[in-house]
Amino acid sequence: MTSKLIWKTSRRTFDLRKRPLVMGILNITPDSFSDGGRFAAADDAFRQAEQMISEGADIIDIGGESTRPGSSRVPPDEEAARVIPVIEAAAARFDVPISIDTTKSEVAAAALAAGAEIVNDISGLRFDPKIAGCVAETGAGLVLMHSRGNFENMHSQPPVTDIFEEVRSDLARSIAGAEYVGVSRDCIALDIGIGFGKTLDQNLQLLSGLDRLAGHFREFPILVGVSRKSFLGRILNNASAGERLAGSVAAAALAVWNGASIIRAHDVRATADAILTASVIRDARDQ
């Protein structure tokens, strides 16, 4: 079950009938759970962006504030100072869309002005609804992710009884909020929020039953981010973040099989190969 096959940003249109997309993760932070501090310097971040593009990244997702459990909020000016030089350099050098991973409208607006063309909001507009206005004004792409609670406690929310209904209803509210201020439906993608306030069983249920959500939100591309996440460590005998490549790739391939069109990943080449293979086999089933 595949979802919508077209996704628009401010500068291009993705045809998702060809293959699923890889969104390469570039964290310019000192404290991200997997690669914190590695790309804090602008030159290092730029080289990592270049490396991911050479490995097949279709989008570079740049973030200046960690959302790992226990992380602290970063002031908007500090977050912008981390990401804007890298966005400007990457947008000037590469013909690959840049996404800004932020929950702050000030940072989103600055990033879009610097050359980004997608806003990736892990709060689904809950933390700062004004992000939708920034997107509507520029025609940027918008990723709306499901999460619960506020920034400080979104990873420690008590589990809900029906995770599918929770994700469905909350994403529907996020879509309505975006459309209310003029965001085009063609510009919206949805992220089910693996690892954000969900139990291990709920993460597994969402991935194995992703076709249910893809079918319900047929008009929207589905993005899934499983790369190196802690639920994989629990499956893999407490493997550290750096030891979760095989699990990350397997989960990404299964997500594509079940309807995802965009995969957010640290390990671009392995992920790109895996999800292309999964999509080709899946599509052969329907021929």
Which residues are annotated as catalytic? 229, 264
Can you tell me the distance from the alpha carbon of 177 to that of 172, in angstroms, rounded to the nearest whole number? Answer: 9
Q: Classify residue 159 by its DSSP letter.
A: P
Can you tell me the distance from the alpha carbon of 221 to that of 6, in angstroms, rounded to the nearest whole number? Answer: 8
**Beta carbons of 139 and 8 less than 8 angstroms apart:** yes
Can you tell me the distance from the alpha carbon of 2 to that of 218, in angstroms, rounded to the nearest whole number? Answer: 7
Distances in whole angstroms, Cα of residue 275 to Cα of each of 17, 118, 143, 227, 231: 13, 22, 20, 13, 20
Report how far apart the first and last C-alpha atoms of the chain are (Å, whole number). Answer: 14
**Beta carbons of 178 and 91 less than 8 angstroms apart:** no
**Beta carbons of 224 and 260 less than 8 angstroms apart:** yes
Q: Which long-range contacts (CB under 8 A, 24 or more apart) does 241-248 make?
A: 241/33, 241/34, 242/34, 245/270
CA 150 to chain centre: 18
